[in-house]
Structure 1
Amino acid sequence: MYISELGRRANASPKAIRLYESLGLLGQVGRKGSYRIYSEQNVQQVQLIRQVQALGFRLADMGPLLHSGAGAPDWDQLVALLEARRVALRAEVARLQQLDSKLGEACAELRACLAAPVAPTLADCIDRPLDSAPGDKLHTS
């Protein structure tokens, strides 16, 4: 099949397919004169590349994964890479949850300070550390 058919079946642009080929992600692609001739295996390869990209991986990460010695994807290595990405993602989620909590605390402290009976200046509210006692001033540096 030609590149337009591969693109249609794998939902990829010809430009993307040429990039995958230039990076060696499709292995050896046959030619008929100046035309590239693609196989069913190439359809599966492009679909896999697009799925892995959708999971947040870069094309540069995929080369060794997509071609083991047998010409098929290295499924064990792909699973290991996915698991490593999940571990990193969980750590990032935990970091973001901590940040969200601190932002919520800062907002609550600022609201409380600004709602005080004596109208404070913003400077009165931002001079205390976030983890200080409620009567202390919020510190921004």
Structure 2
Amino acid sequence: MKISELSQQTKVSIRMIRYYEEQGLLKPTRTHSGYRNFKKDDIELINKIRLFKEIGFTIEDIRPILHCQLTQISQQEICDQLKHKFSCQIEQIDQMIANLNQAKITLRQYL
């Protein structure tokens, strides 16, 4: 599929898709005329990237996550590091949820 189709299906701009490619997160093939050719799997990949970005991961954090998921062999050390990173991120999310719940309780007092 062309980059424009991928952009439409994922609601991610063409510019951002190109950036993900530059950062090594996407690896499209090229046609004889040089156009990028993406696979259907790239839709899921972009959705994963968006999810990780939404929960606070940087591109530098996401790269090894995707690499670990894609290779899943002889990557135990990287994957263990990711598990630690995930645990830390979960703690941060839990703290954000607690803060939001406290804010909601405070606001309800004024209703």
TM-score, normalised to structure 1, is: 0.55
Report how far residue 16 of structure 1 moved: 0.4
Q: Hey, what does 1:86 align to over in structure 2?
A: 90
Identity %: 28
Report how far residue 43 of structure 1 moved: 0.9
Q: How far, CA to CA, are the matches of 1:83 and 1:69 in structure 2?
A: 17
Higher RCO, 1 or 2 (CA under 8 Å, sep at least 6)? 2
Secondary structure of 1:5's partner?
Answer: helix
Change beyond 3 A, Cα 1:43–1:79 = farther
Change beyond 3 A, Cα 1:7–1:71 = farther
Summarize deviations over 1:94-141 as a string: whole Å, max 9, x none: 8x7xxx9xxxxxxxxxxxxxxxxxxxxxxxxxxxxxxxxxxxxxxxxx
Name the count of aligned residue pairs. 94
Report how far residue 89 of structure 1 moved: 4.4
Q: Hey, what does 1:114 align to over in structure 2?
A: none
Amino acid at match of 2:28: V
Report how far residue 59 of structure 1 moved: 1.4
Report how far residue 80 of structure 1 moved: 4.5
Change beyond 3 A, Cα 1:57–1:30 = same
TM-score, normalised to structure 2, is: 0.68
Q: How far, CA to CA, are the matches of 1:44 and 1:92 in structure 2?
A: 27
Task: Give the superposed CA RMSD.
Answer: 2.9
